[in-house]
């Protein structure tokens, strides 16, 4: 059950630890004015699973979206199991190419949406991104999950579970940030 729902025991522990960090505002979130958000920018570690899928799902939902990884190899394709799990949900990740944080060009109206609390800390420590609004994507999952554990190299069932959670969060973002909708 842990492998299919949380990826690993470490994923479950990180999820448990992320609740008090989010609750007591220790997660380095910087709330945006929803009316000023023009583009949703999804952030994870390698930009080949979670953030890549979130970007594709957001674009499919009619939102302006981008993604990058904090330690990505720019130009790398999406992870094979992520491509397969995305296809099962009706999304095509085959054309995705990873983007590293250093290659990301911020735009006015960007909202950074991270998968993990520690990623928010890294964004806050980056002088180029420290003043940008940033939140945990898991705030929009049902139930809210402030830690969306990295599915890279884990059980295919967890990959599917993780991408389903992200898809649900993206559906909620459509209502929360109408300024990010494509014209």
- Residue 50 known to be catalytic: yes
H/E stretch holding 78? none
DSSP state for residue 101 in the 8-state scheme: G
Q: Are the C-beta atoms of 85 and 96 separated by less than 8 Å?
A: no
Phi-psi map region of 66: left, alpha, beta (phi>0 left; psi -120 to 50 alpha): beta
Pairwise CA distance, residues 108 & 70, whole Å: 20
Pairwise CA distance, residues 180 & 34, whole Å: 9
pTM for the model: 0.95
Pairwise CA distance, residues 43 & 82, whole Å: 16
- Which region among 13-17, 36-40, 169-173 has the lowest average model confidence (pLDDT)? 13-17
Provide, rounded to the nearest whole percent, the portion of the chain with pLDDT above 90. Answer: 85
Task: Enter the tokens of residue 150.
Answer: 């990295």
Query: Which residue among 14, 150, 162, 165 is the active-site one?
Result: 150
Domains of the chain by start residue, with CATH: 2-20+33-180 (3.40.50.2300)
Give the pLDDT confidence score for residue 38 in this predicted structure.
97
- Residue 162 known to be catalytic: no
- Residue 14 known to be catalytic: no
Q: What is the mean pLDDT of the chain?
A: 95
Query: Which residue among 50, 64, 134, 165 is the active-site one?
Result: 50
pLDDT digits (tens, 9 = 90+) for 102-154: 999 999 999 999 999 999 999 999 999 999 999 999 999 999 999 999 999 99
Mean pLDDT value across residues 35-52: 97
């Amino acid at each position: 059950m842990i492998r299919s729902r949380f990826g690993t025991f470490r994923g479950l522990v990180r999820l448990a630890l992320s609740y008090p960090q989010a609750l007591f505002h220790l997660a380095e979130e910087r709330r945006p004015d929803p009316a000023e958000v023009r583009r949703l920018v999804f952030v994870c570690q390698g930009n080949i699973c979670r953030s890549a899928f979130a970007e594709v799902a957001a674009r499919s939902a009619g939102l302006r979206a981008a993604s990058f990884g904090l330690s990505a190899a720019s130009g790398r394709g999406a992870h094979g199991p992520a491509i397969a799990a995305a296809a099962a949900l009706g999304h095509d990740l085959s054309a995705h190419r990873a983007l590293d944080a250093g290659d990301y060009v911020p735009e006015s109206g960007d909202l950074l949406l991270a998968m993990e609390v520690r990623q928010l800390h890294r964004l806050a420590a980056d002088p180029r991104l420290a003043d940008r609004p940033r939140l945990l994507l898991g705030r929009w999952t049902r139930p809210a999950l402030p830690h969306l554990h990295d599915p890279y190299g884990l059980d295919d069932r967890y990959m599917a579970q993780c991408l389903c959670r992200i898809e649900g969060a993206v559906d909620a973002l459509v209502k929360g940030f109408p300024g990010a909708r494509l014209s």
